Structure 1
Amino acid sequence: MRADKYQGKKKRRWPAILLIFLLLIGAGVGYAYFQFKQGVNQSLKKLNKDNKEADVVYTFKGQKDQYGDTNVLLLGSDARGKEKSRADTIMIAHYNEDKGTFKLTSIMRDSYVEIPGHGKHKINSAFARGGPELMRKTIKQNFDIDLQYFAIADFQGFVQLIDEAFPNGVEIDVEKKMSKNINTKLEPGLQRLNGKQMLGYVRFRHDAIGDFGRVERQQKAVKAIGNQLSGLQTITKLPKLIGVLTPYVNTNMNTSDILFMGKDFFSDKRGNIAALRIPVENSFTEPRIQGEGAVLDIDVEKNKQALHQFITK
């Protein structure tokens, strides 16, 4: 009899445990949504009303690549409402779902390539000519890699994200003095930079190596931000961080897509973020082209092979 009573109590206990579990999940989802909306409202108060980029509707016929990875086209813009702006920053984030790993490819904006339907031009002009869809087609035609998602970010969103995620700044080693055309002054040395200073750091290019140094700093900054944001504490902040960034970003990714990849990006198990720059070393010349100015005339086949080797290794 005692055994029967014990079994009866055990059976009655399971519905109560299940109810508590569901309530906890509901509370977690509700809190995450509250944090997300709080981040959105926080950014809306600071958003430049002239910036309409996030409201533009784009067509993007993306898909996973032939290796089963998810590639996200990342474009940086400070157009402030100008319709025909060129992409200031061009990156591809490669995400391997099975391994939970990320890689980053930067394509230099002066790369001189075939743009479908327009002939040869600097690759950053593809965005002005046909939005992210033409940029997708251009990358596919030249490098034979598919892109599933796009995200066009206004640089002020970068500032707000850094200030929210890093109240004490991002620790980074500034390699030289920087001030020209970045609206801030940076001194060399290991230090913590706020959002405005970090934006200046990743945009500076007025030195002997120009855009090459800028791309290197952008990749260095992404790695530093990723490493310093990793951990359980950051994952709990992720909904608000996405909310802060949302008003500044035009993307075809759902919030659930971002959260799914974000949990791996901020995981302690993610590992280091490998990075590649296109064009790779010894694969380009630097002629001046009438109507284009100085360009990077790249060996497309050599760079295509380097990109595929980078993704698959």
Structure 2
Amino acid sequence: MNEGKKVRIRIVKRRVVRWKRVFSLLLVIGIVFGSLYSFIQYRQGLAISGKGLFSQEGKEFKQFKGSFPNNGKINVLLLGSDSRGEKHSRTDSILIAQYNSKTKKPKIVSLMRDMYVNIPGHGHQKLNAAYAFGGPELLRKTIKYNFNVDINYYAIVDFKGFSKVVDAIAPEGIKVDVPHEMSSGIDMTIPKGKQYLHGDKLLGYVRFRHDESSDFGRVQRQQEVVLKLKDKVANIDNIMKIPKLLGIMDPYLDTNLSTKSMMLLAKDAVTGNMKDVQSLRLPLDGSFENKTYSGVGMVLDIDLDKNKEALQEFLNDK
């Protein structure tokens, strides 16, 4: 090999090394500035969030013995809390949110809170009584005992934070078609008709239950709003809002999901990798009777085997 060729090879090697160093430096700078941006956005979200149910340390539920996720699927017990200071409040909404990280399929199961089930150690009660007796851990045990579904994590959302999160995700509001005037039990009046609802009124819309549909209509509206919010989040412009949204949610959210896991879920939703949400409601139509039991009140007396089978098939893609 002549001397000129050796010189050219050495020059090329030096350029490659130089560009590797420049790239590494740019990568480090990007990570630093990205972390700083995320921290600032998170703090901004925290600053406007206000005081929530989980603002103070020490209120979180320490005991939760969920199993480790299997085959890329995670099952999260998603609970809506409407506590007004009670020591043992009942949860207003009970859902199982499943996400398959391999197939990118999200699923939501709404569990009617008045289902008459066997709560370990407490006998037959309404499903939401399990939360009052023993928090999310006893509710996890109850779901496992009755429906044979393993729950991996839990997330409790204080309804007071719902409005702030909605307004951050969809400042223009969420479009809904209100079937009739709603006012009883929600401390506001929502007129009939198609309209855009912002945070507070959208919360009233999903909580209203004083009509002929009762809890069934409320659960249907919950699923409707979840799907519409998911579509709003699936916007590339919102990816920059993720740290701020986590800051807004922090005082209103108690969960044993790691921040990293929440960020990965949010990223899939925002970047469009997450597929359309599939939903199910238990009990199934025609699988329950309205009954009244002494000491418990009015309940949904369900065909347990039929509903267990439907839930298993839905979550296991059968």
Q: TM-score, normalised by structure 2?
A: 0.93
Q: Structure 1 residues 254 and 203 mapped into 2: Cα distance closer, same or farther (>3 Å)?
A: same
2:209 equivalent to 1:208: no
Contact 1:69 1:97 in 2 (8 A): yes
* Correspondence 1:278-293 to 2 at 5 A: 278-293=282-297
Cα deviation for residue 65 of structure 1 reads 5.7
SS, match of residue 208 in structure 1: coil
2:269 equivalent to 1:269: no
**Cross-structure match for 2:38:** 32
Q: Structure 1 residues 215 and 53 mapped into 2: Cα distance closer, same or farther (>3 Å)?
A: farther
Deviations 1:114-147 (A, max 9, x none): 0001100000000010010000000000110111
The number of residue pairs the alignment matches comes to: 311
Instruction: Flag structure 2 segments of 5+ consecutive residues without an equivalent.
Output: 1-6
* Correspondence 1:158-307 to 2 at 5 A: 158-307=162-311
Deviates more, 1:256-265 or 1:141-150: 256-265
Deviates more, 1:9-18 or 1:152-161: 9-18
Deviates more, 1:256-265 or 1:282-291: 256-265
Q: Structure 1 residues 53 and 106 mapped into 2: Cα distance closer, same or farther (>3 Å)?
A: farther
SS, match of residue 55 in structure 1: coil
Q: 2:126 aligned to 115, 122, 130, which one? A: 122
Deviations 1:146-202 (A, max 9, x none): 111111111011011112222211222223221111122222333211110010000
Cα deviation for residue 80 of structure 1 reads 2.7
Cα deviation for residue 48 of structure 1 reads 5.5
Give the residue type in structure 2 aligned to 1:6: V
2:67 equivalent to 1:63: yes
Q: 2:20 aligned to 11, 14, 26, which one? A: 14
Structure 1 distance, partners of 2:91, 2:55, is 15
Q: Structure 1 residues 264 and 49 mapped into 2: Cα distance closer, same or farther (>3 Å)?
A: closer
Structure 1 distance, partners of 2:52, 2:14, is 63
**Cross-structure match for 1:73:** 77
Deviations 1:39-84 (A, max 9, x none): 11221xx326898698233300002466651011011111132111
Instruction: Flag structure 1 segments of 5+ consecutive residues without an equivalent.
Output: none
- The alignment's C-alpha RMSD in Å is 1.9
SS, match of residue 110 in structure 1: coil
Structure 1 distance, partners of 2:41, 2:47, is 10
Deviates more, 1:252-261 or 1:140-149: 252-261
Q: Structure 1 residues 54 and 222 mapped into 2: Cα distance closer, same or farther (>3 Å)?
A: farther
Give the residue type in structure 2 aligned to 1:284: F
Larger radius of gyration: 2
Structure 2 distance, partners of 1:213, 1:53, is 36
Aligned-pair identity in percent equals 42
Q: TM-score, normalised by structure 1?
A: 0.94
Cα deviation for residue 15 of structure 1 reads 0.7
**Cross-structure match for 2:48:** 42
Give the residue type in structure 2 aligned to 1:241: L
Contact 1:287 1:297 in 2 (8 A): yes
Give the residue type in structure 1 aligned to 2:257: M
